[in-house]
Every structure is written in structure tokens, then in C-alpha cells.
Amino acid sequence: MNQLPVPAAEPRVIYVERQGREKYTYYDNGIVKITRYKAKQKIYWGRIIAASLVFILLFMGIVQTFRAAAAAIRGRKNDDKTTPSSSLGQLVPQDKNDDLTVSEDSASGSADSNISTDKSEIALTICIDPAHGGAADRGAVSADGEIIECEQNLELAELVKEYLTDRGATVIITRESDEQLVISDRCSLANQAGADFYVSLHRNSVSGDDTLCGTEVWVNNNQPEYDTLLAENILAAVEKVGISENRGVKFGYSGIPDQNYQVNIDTVMPSCLLELGFLTNETDNRMFEEHKEEYAQAIGDAIIKTAIDIGVIDKDGKRLMSDQLISYGKNSVVAAY
């Protein structure tokens, strides 16, 4: 009878060691068993959430961009129906009845009652700029030192603002106290606020000739039609109130026609610079004091009339133009299309 072999004893584990994703098992018979484990897939939830938020924001930005583009296209279509013809100085009115006439028997020369005077009815944003200001920039000063231009500019600007605000317009005034502001900051304020019109208020002066008198309005020397219309309407309105002399709408810079006043360069909307009489003339000073409230109303009504003539609002003050009114006729403003 053959003897059966004795089964070998099971090897015993004498040591276990882990290195990374590998386990080493050492047996008493010298065998080393290596076991490899698959790495667990770590899920970076923070990164996933951040990426999702970025995607959502990008998607919303794209949607807003398309909406803005669609609004711009609609605005241009409205402009095509309501804006003037391309030839300077020749406007195509939206409707012959839209033109506001100035009442002949009105003491102030303000526009007629076709526009509602109820508050919050005139959908316009207007920047009124009282020129000069501060101890270092008083503007013109009378010979006796009693009349200071920067103070009269601010007084008139506040009256214009009050009148237009009561009509429901949004009015930005570049300064509300006797402070000095650089012109570029005044223009930036109007541009960033989306103003439709910019009117800079001044009193004129001349040295050595107290007989020189009258009112004039200055416009960019490229003679943009919106700006020119604004100036013409303001000049006609204050003339209805009463001025010593109509010196006309002028282009460029006094004495330097190929230059411009900075307010007529750095503003993107229609703008003009009003010289309301000579501070060095007794008659002009008397008329300013007697009629400053009427002048303010006339300036406000002329701005509203211009907005209707161009097609920014209708005669009831309802907004027709979807975007800010831009004066692409200026030699410093480039059309976006």
C-alpha cells in the first residue's frame, strides 16, 4: 500500500505592507503577494459648481447682448421714421402738427399748451451746465464787481432745471454750488447719464466797449443739424421774451472759427453754448434781471420743441426714440454703425 503524501502546511502571513495603491503580503515561505487597488475617482464638486455658474453667467450675457442688439435695431427703425433728412438744416417733421409754435402774445415766449404740463410727462434727459465756478474761475465780472458771471449762470441754470423738472423731464445740472469743475468732467457727466441735450449757460463780455450787446449761441463748427436746430430754437425763444439784439447762431470758437468750445466737442449729444447778453452792457444786465425766469422757461420750452422736431418724443411727451439721442453730425462723434 502506497503512502499518501503529507499536504504542505498553508503558508503563514508574517508581514503586510502598503505603498500607495499596492499591498505587499509577505509569507513565511518567502512568497510575496502584491495586490493592486484601483484609485477612487474623486469628484470635485466645487469645481463643477463654479463651472456651472460661469456657464450660466455667460449664457445670460449672450441673451442680454442679443436683446440689446434687437433694441438698437428697433431704435434705428424708429429713427428712420422720425429723424431729419441727411442734408444739414432741413428737417423732415414727423407730422406738420407736431411743430410747437411760440405764442406771439406770450410774455415769456414759451411753447404753447400742446404739451402736457403734468409732472412725469416729458420723457427726456437734459444736462444744463452753468459755466465757470469756484474762486479761480469767476467768469466775467462787471466793472464795479457787483455782477459775477458764474453766479448768474448758476442762478439761471437752477431756474431752467426747476421749470423742466416740473414738466416731468430728468434734468442733470453740472454744479449746484460755487465750485470749480473742469470742462471734461462736465461733459463726461452728461455722456454717462445718457442725456439727450446739453446746454451750457454763459453771460458774454467785452473789454473797453460797454455798448456791445445782444445774445448769441455757439455750435460745433461742423454745423451738425440737431445741434444747430437746438441753438436756433433757443435763440428764437429768448428773443420772444426780449433781448437787446439777436447776434445769431455761430459756429466754432469766438475769433477762431476752425476751433470749437470744448463742450461742443466732448459731448456726444446735441449741444450748444448760450451767451445770454453782455455782462458789460447795462441794458443786457437789466433785461437779465427783469426776465431771468422767462428766459429759463423759454430755454426749457425750446429744448422740448427741439426734441419733438427731431422725433425723440411726441407732442404729449411720450418717448419715441428708444435710446439716447446722439449727434453724429459732430466732427468728434463717430457713428456706431
Model pLDDT for residues 80-91, shown as the tens digit of each residue:
444 333 333 333
Q: Is the pLDDT of residue 256 over 90?
A: yes
- The closest of 289, 261, 264, 288 to 276, measured between CA atoms, is 288
CA 10 – CA 165 distance, rounded (Å) = 102
**Within the chain, what is the greatest distance between any pair of CA atoms?**
153
**pLDDT tens digits along 27-80:** 666 676 677 665 555 566 777 887 787 778 777 778 677 676 666 665 554 444
Place of cell 503524501: 5
Report which of residues 254 and 14 the model is more confident about.
254
Query: What is the DSSP secondary-structure string of 137-187?
Result: ----B-TTS--BHHHHHHHHHHHHHHHHHHTT-EEEES-SSS----HHHHH
Report which of residues 312 and 23 the model is more confident about.
312
Mean pLDDT across the chain: 82
> What mean pLDDT do residues 182-189 have?
97
pLDDT score recorded for residue 336: 47
CA 288 – CA 336 distance, rounded (Å) = 41
CA 203 – CA 141 distance, rounded (Å) = 10
pLDDT score recorded for residue 51: 79
The percentage of residues in the chain with a pLDDT greater than 90, rounded to a whole number, is 60
Domains, the chain, in order of start with CATH, read 96-310 (3.40.630.40)
CA 74 – CA 94 distance, rounded (Å) = 17
Q: Is the pLDDT of residue 208 over 60?
A: yes
Q: What number of residues does the chain have?
A: 337
Cell, residue 97: 402738427
Q: Is the pLDDT of residue 305 over 80?
A: yes
CA 203 – CA 289 distance, rounded (Å) = 12
CA 179 – CA 173 distance, rounded (Å) = 13
- 300, containing H or E segment: helix 282-310
Phi and psi, residue 256, nearest 5°: -135, 80
pLDDT score recorded for residue 62: 80
Q: Is the pLDDT of residue 127 over 80?
A: yes
Q: Is the pLDDT of residue 264 over 60?
A: yes
Q: Is the pLDDT of residue 108 over 50?
A: no
Which residues, including other chains, have CB under 8 Å from residue 104's CB and lie 6 or more apart? none
Task: Say what the pTM is.
Answer: 0.67
> What mean pLDDT do residues 172-196 have?
97
> What mean pLDDT do residues 233-243 have?
98
Kind of pairing, strands 197-204 and 215-219? unpaired
Amino acid at 142: S
pLDDT score recorded for residue 3: 58
Write the burial class of residue 116 (CB in 10 Å: 0-12 exposed, 13-18 middle, 19+ buried).
middle
Cα dist from 69 to 120, 177, 193, 321, whole Å: 28, 40, 20, 15
Strand, coil or helix: 303: helix
Count of C-beta atoms within a 10 Å radius of residue 335:
7
> What mean pLDDT do residues 167-186 have?
97
